[in-house]
Amino acid sequence: MFFICIECYVDRQIDAVFEGGGIKGIAHLGAAQAFLDKGYSFRRVAGSSAGAMVAALLGAGYSGAEAFSAIKSISEDDVTKGSHLHHFLGKAVKTVLSYGLYGTQAFENIIASLLKEKGVVTFSDTKSEVKVAVADISEKRVFTFPDDLPFFGIDPKAFPVARAVAMSAAFPGFFEPFTLKDTEGRTHYLVDGGLMANLPLYIFNASPSLFGLKLGKSNQYNKINAFHGYITMLAETALDSEDLECSARALSRGARIFELPTEITDDNGQQKKVSTLEFSLTETERKALYTGGYNAVKGRI
């Protein structure tokens, strides 16, 4: 009698697309670890905003658990420090002059440092193929980096991955936009990819080996008392949008989309919905997000 292991013939290399969602993106790292623990490997990865960061870390060779350990203590101050103009001129003047409360250099430096630990600087260095969605508000279109970099006269293989991630996460109003000149000399303002494609499934051809990882949404009422709160809810509203047509097309071709929970038990034992820019989460609360993502995927693959 012969025993046939059906699972042995299943392609364990997958493509994964990660939705944007700020701090909630920690759940993606738990989901990624669940795939790895089940014997899957990432052939190609893509994402917008926080999803772009996750894709970059996985593409560099981090496991979900390693990446979580590396970023679990990063605070809002870490991401926004070094914005000296903000301190001297004040938030209002800073925002008017540079179109954002904070610069992106500190965030880019954090990502660059993490990637360098794995020997990754440019897109040519990644272990798995990495794609990042970036919104161009000058032409109201979405670019996929590194593929679309020749539009700006830039060699795709020589572009820093960390810079592309920072572009994809530059939410308008909170972070300053990036600018690039195209080959005709026109200036383009580049911002958070999630504004136009928060779950950019279009990047890869839909197939049974394609997985989309989206983050749970919240429709609860939120009282807005200050500008920071306004920016937070603006981010929530923009990034909660979904291209239903793109998702339906991917599903019809065999792709699978998993929704990861973003409701956790806080340090006081209360249930709470995590918001996009809630960088004040404790390490215990961040661990709860990670574990929720892990469990949501582990039981479905």
Q: Which of 48, 49, 247, 275 is catalytic?
A: 49
Per-residue model confidence (pLDDT) at position 95: 46
Per-residue model confidence (pLDDT) at position 147: 98
Per-residue model confidence (pLDDT) at position 140: 93
Q: How far apart are CA 17 and CA 69, in angstroms?
A: 21
CA distances from 191 to 7, 65, 118, 197 (A): 42, 29, 27, 12
The token pair at 179 is 């600018």
Per-residue model confidence (pLDDT) at position 101: 79
The token pair at 141 is 């279109």
List the chain residues with pLDDT less than 50: 1-9, 84-89, 91-97
47 forms beta bridges with 18, 132
Q: Which of 15, 125, 136, 192 is catalytic?
A: 192
192 given a catalytic annotation: yes
Instruction: Look at strands 210-215 and 256-260 and give their pairing.
Output: parallel
> Phi/psi at 73 (nearest 5 deg)?
-105, 5
pTM equals 0.86
